[in-house]
Structure 1
Amino acid sequence: MSLLFDESLKSIEFLFKYVGIYLDRTILNTAEHIIKFRSLYVINFLWLNTDVIAEILWIIQGALHGKSLIELTYIVPCTTLCMLANIKTLSLVFNDVKVKQLFEQLRNMENNINIDDEVVKKKIVVDGKKFLRAVIKALRVINTLTLILFSVSPLLFMGLEYKKSGQIELVLPFLIVYPFNPYDIKYWPFVYVHQVWGTYLVLTQVSGTDCLFYTSCTSICTQFRLLQNDIETIIPERNFDEIVFREEFKKLAVRHDGIMQSVIQLESIYTKSTLFNFVTSSFLICLTGFNVTALGDIGFMLSFFSFLLMSLMQIYLLCFYGDMIMTSSMEVSNAMYNSKWYTVNAKVAKHLYVVQMRAQKPSKLTAYSYADVNLKAFTKILSTAWSYFALLKTMESPTRA
């Protein structure tokens, strides 16, 4: 019986459906499979990155032609998030085999545990499911709000301008260089739809890969907590049998090693994209916060406010789940201490002590060994973002003066 992973995976598969990533399907290196299962991803990749290249060109041209700081910082966060979406999805595509192996590891661990008659274990699993569902729902709401605001704000601006002046001034969600005039009515509808779909792709790719990360972390943390429960009760109050204990203890040691291996596998899939996420998050938060305070238009300000919430939530949850992995792995050591080790002989207690010492070294996720993924890293990112924000405000003041 699958406890958590398959049920949670089904709830996020829709995020990958229109992106063109098939999480739980074996894709062979044949022309038929590549065309069938990779063509949609390639089309979306090209669709999105034509805009990314054009955004970069706009930033370069804007800097060379003396565009204002507000205009430049308007587009930079969007470009950065597009690049983050690319790296996150490519980490799944290029690590396709590792992703399948991780799925197999998590399923095997869950299917080998029976919780039907265990009230405590049921609560551990149910609590994990509830929290994960709440996180995914919150992300869905914020992403939907961000998509709507970025898509609708130009239309609202055009409506207000028409009401004020009686003329329609065509506006697009993003500032992008095109080889034609995108504000020509012949091209504007296509460009508008192109940018809106690109926005959807970015939000879906980032939230999809993150939700898969949260799902994997939740499954792993649940396994650590179930292991802790079994360790705490491995020594009965009466009728201790050393032979039975050795057999059970060996099974627990194998389970412990399997859970730690799944952390290593998850680390190998996400570590590079996490490094880019860490490096860019301070810029994203800083520039988006700056836009919220600097833009005069209420529609665009609300758009960037939702963008800011999404950026903060995205990096916070990444660090939160990394911290949860570390904490739950180290709590195995506490479970050993609470296992009535003092009621058994020294030889048995020694076995417990060895595992206790190993558990004190946490299983952890890193940003390509540059930094540990935990809540301390989140505070550092916020601190750096605030420093950049203060610098931008200082640069903006002389310009306005």
Structure 2
Amino acid sequence: MEDLNSNHINGSIKKMNFILLCSGLIVQGKKLTQIKKIKSRLIYIINFLWLNSDLLGAICWFIDGIKNGKTFVEVTYIAPCITFSFLANFKAIFIIYYEDNIRDLINDLLELEDRDKKIDVKRDGLRNDALNFLHLILKSSFVLNLVLIIAFTIGPFIVIATIYIKTKEVDLLLPFLIKYPFDSHDIRYWPFVYVHQFWSVAIVLVNICGADHLLYICCTHLRVQFSLLQYDLSNIVNKNSYLSNHDLGLVETELVELIKWHQALIKLSNKLEVIYSKSTLYNFISSSVLICLTGFNVVAIQNVAIAFMFLVFLSASLLQIYLLCFFGDLLMNSTMEVRDAVYNCKWYYLNAKIRKNLIIVHSRAQEPCKLTAFGFSDVNLRAFMSILSSSWSYFALLKTVYNPVKN
């Protein structure tokens, strides 16, 4: 049998150790020593200053571009990157702000998992299927973001090589249009600026991945707990006949424990909502604009290498908001399925007192535990479809307004 410790939430968090190390975010159950905490904070502060120096330069370029009559394509080239950078900042800041809540959430999940000593093939199957799927998603997300970093790193080199082949001239290009207090295209500064922009991209992605992957992990482990609760509720009566007083006493005792378990999971779901609701609100607001502008760049930019960069960027943006909504939807559905488990638990063999308790559990399960965008919208697949609909509307409007200058 697989070691149960491998199923603990800490085991899942270890899958994202590299991301957490690079981002400087602290995500674990036990309290860090003062030295480790200082090291982690130092990494985060360095990354924060590094990223936002480029973000400030990008905003300055964007403003100057509008003032100086830059083309619409040039202006929209940097806009998605600015939006994504703000998203990375928001996500990292709220992870640090709710650090104690996260630690409590992880410890509470660990406590629930440690309490589960039942040995059952079906229960283990429910757990392992969910965790295997989670780890597949974490790996796939990491690979796509790695491809995004490589695309934005290699893209300008491909353009430089193409220009050199055609004109025999070297035009030093950078991944992003950012204003610096010096000539960034000067060969003396260009290598440093290139590396600086490359690491800024990496910081954005590790900050977003760190926050999002933690959400996926918490949603999955909560879903596992709800699934095990459903399984135990469905099988609380294992006989096909009316029970003796002794059997009814055992069922009532077990039901009390299951109700306490259900209440604990509701509290943990609410705690997860508190941690993520504010950053999710910005994520929802920005995603429609981000997807719209990135899609527009893919269509409008003539250079194939640069267009491919934004195509990968678009894929990453779509995957990011889809997975956020997908795991929110999984959590919501798993909480509502508790009512079906209550209905299917052979309640008709039980006495009136136990039935009343089951009715209370059934009534509470009608109201799902859910993640929201700070109360404005539920985080589920329906919200994802709304974001896609809004993005398409903005994209169609942008294509209608944009009128490229023809030679």
TM-score computed with the length of structure 1 as normaliser: 0.96
1:90 equivalent to 2:93? Answer yes
Q: Residues 352 and 84 of structure 1: is their aligned pair in 2 closer, same or farther, counting only changes over 3 Å? A: same
> Which residue, out of 279, 297, 314, partners 2:320?
314
- Alignment partners' CA distance in 1, 2:31 and 2:47: 21
Alpha-carbon shift at residue 400 of structure 1 (Å): 5.0
Instruction: Give the aligned partner of residue 106 of structure 1.
Output: 109
The equivalent residue for 2:77 is: 74
Query: Is the CA contact (8 Å cut-off) linking 2:26 and 2:99 kept in structure 1?
Result: no
Does the 8 Å contact 2:377/2:383 carry over to 1? yes
Counterpart for residue 243 of structure 1: 249
Cα distance, 1:69 vs. partner? Answer: 1.1
> C-alpha distance in 2, partners of 1:48/1:342?
62
1:182·1:191 contact (CA, 8 Å) conserved in 2? yes
Alignment of 1:288-299 (within 5 A): 288-299=294-305
In the TM superposition, residue 351 of structure 1 has moved relative to its aligned partner by 1.2
Residues 27 and 37 of structure 1 are in contact (CA less than 8 Å); yes or no, is this contact kept in structure 2?
Answer: no
2:135 to 113, 133, 136: 133
Deviations 1:79-125 (A, max 9, x none): 1000000000111111111110011111111111124x311101101
1:358 and 2:358 aligned: no
The SS at the match of 1:184 is: coil
SS at 2:402 equivalent = helix
Could you tell me how far apart the structure 2 residues matched to 1:157 and 1:236 are? 69
1:198 CA displacement? 0.5
Between the aligned partners of 1:246 and 1:77, the Cα distance in structure 2 is 57
CA-CA distance at 1:4 after TM superposition:
3.8
How do 1:3-152 residues align onto structure 2 when only pairs under 5 Å count? 3-24=7-28, 26-27=31-32, 35-115=38-118, 117-152=119-154
Is 1:161 aligned to residue 163 of structure 2?
yes
Q: 1:33 to 1:134 in 2, by over 3 A?
A: closer
**Aligned partners of 1:129, 1:348: CA distance in 2, in Å?**
34
Is 1:205 matched up with 2:235?
A: no
Separation in structure 1 between the aligned mates of residue 31 and residue 353 of structure 2, nearest angstrom: 47
Distance 1:253 1:13 in 2: 35
Cα distance change on mapping 1:82 and 1:343 into 2, 3 Å: same
How far is 1:27 from its partner?
A: 5.0
* Contact preservation (8 Å) 2:78, 2:177: yes
Match of 2:308 among 302, 307, 314: 302
Correspondent of 1:185 among 167, 184, 187 = 187
C-alpha RMSD over aligned residues: 1.5
Distance 1:104 1:35, change over 3 A: closer
Cα displacement string for residues 335-376 of structure 1 (whole angstroms, at most 9, x for unaligned residues)? 000000011222221111111011111011111111111111
- Structure 1 unmatched runs, 5+: none
Deviation string 1:11-52 (CA, Å, 9 cap, x unpaired) is 012111022122225357x7x666433111101100000011
Q: What is the TM-score when the length of structure 2 is the normalising length?
A: 0.95
Query: How many equivalent pairs are there?
Result: 398
Residue 147 of structure 1, CA deviation = 0.6
Cα drift, residue 398 of structure 1: 6.2
* Residue of structure 2 in register with 1:374 after alignment: 380
Q: 1:66 aligns to what SS in structure 2? A: coil
Distance 2:347 2:145 in 1: 50
Confirm or deny: 8 A CA contact 2:26 2:96 kept in the other structure: no
CA distances 1:112-161 after superposition (whole Å, capped 9, x unpaired): 1124x311101101111111111112111211111111000111111111
The answer to whether 1:339 aligns with 2:345 is: yes
Deviates more, 1:242-251 or 1:145-154: 242-251
CA distance in 2, matches of 1:359, 1:18: 40
Contact 1:21 1:41 in 2 (8 A): yes
Kindly state the Cα deviation for residue 236 of structure 1 after the two structures are TM-superposed.
Answer: 2.4
Q: Residue 336 of structure 2 aligns with which residue?
A: 330
Residues 1:334 and 1:187: Cα distance change in structure 2 (over 3 Å): same
**SS of structure 1 residue aligned to 2:403:** helix
Q: Check the 8 A contact 2:23/2:210 in 1, yes or no.
A: no
* Whole-Å separation in 2 of the counterparts to 1:399 and 1:171: 23
2:23 match: secondary structure? coil
Distance 2:236 2:367 in 1: 22
Q: C-alpha distance in 2, partners of 1:347/1:97?
A: 40
One-letter identity of the residue aligned with 1:222:
V
Alignment of 1:394 onto 2:397: no
Q: Matches of 2:214 and 2:18 in 1, distance apart?
A: 12
Q: Deviations over 1:251-295 (max 9, x none)?
A: 101110111111111111111000000000001110011011111
Q: 1:220 aligns with which of 213, 222, 235?
A: 222
**Seq. identity, %:** 42
Does residue 348 (structure 1) correspond to residue 354 (structure 2)? The answer is yes
Partners of 1:243 and 1:70 in 2: how far apart?
72
Q: In 1, distance between residues paired with 2:8 and 2:127?
A: 7
Q: Is the 8 A contact 1:89 1:205 kept in 2?
A: yes
Which letter does structure 1 place at the counterpart of 2:20?
F
CA contact (8 A) 2:297 2:307 kept: yes
Structure 1 position 396, deviation (Å):
1.3
CA contact (8 A) 1:5 1:107 kept: yes
- Counterpart amino acid of residue 286 in structure 1: C
